[in-house]
Structure 1
Amino acid sequence: MDQVKVQFRTPEEVMDFTNVVSRYECDMDLKKSSKKVVDAKSLLGILALGLENVLELCIYSDESCEEVVKAISRYVIA
């Protein structure tokens, strides 16, 4: 499992993000806290977490997830 922090500022960014991650077969979740977890491929789920929040993306895969992280790099924060 790989984890990176991401942030979205507009609904358009969320739409772009979900379009990109939906191309990959691995499961992905976004967490706002330990109690608020949504499917990273769900547009409405991400919007329910709110914009401008720092979210933790968890990618569940046995293989390297570098390709996914590279594809969403504009949303990854340090």
Structure 2
Amino acid sequence: MNQVKVQFRTPQEVMDFTNVVSKYEYNMDLKKSSRKIVDAKSLLGILALGLENVLELCIYSDDNCDDVVKAISRYVIA
């Protein structure tokens, strides 16, 4: 499993993000806390977590997921 932190500022960014991650076969979740977890490919799920929050993206794969991280790099924060 790979994890990166992401942040969205506008609904358009969320829509662009879901369009990109939906192209990959990996299962992915976004976590706001240990109790709030949504499918990273769900537009409404991500919007329900709220904008401007730092979210943790979990990519479930044994493979190196650098291709996904590179594709969403504009949303990744340090």
TM-score (norm. length: structure 2): 0.99
Residue deviations 1:10-38 (CA, integer Å, cap 9, x gap): 00000000000000001000000000000
Unpaired segments of 5 or more residues in structure 2?
Answer: none
Counting aligned pairs with the same residue, the percent is 86
Does the residue aligned with 2:64 lie in a helix, a strand or coil? coil
Unpaired segments of 5 or more residues in structure 1?
Answer: none
- Which of structure 1's runs of 4+ aligned residues deviate more than 6 A? none
RMSD across aligned positions (CA):
0.2
Q: Give me the whole-angstrom Cα distance separating, in 2, the residues matched to 1:23 and 1:76.
A: 18
Residue deviations 1:18-60 (CA, integer Å, cap 9, x gap): 0000000010000000000000000000000000000000000
TM-score (norm. length: structure 1): 0.99
Between Structure 1 and Structure 2, how many residues are aligned?
78
Aligned match of 2:43: 43
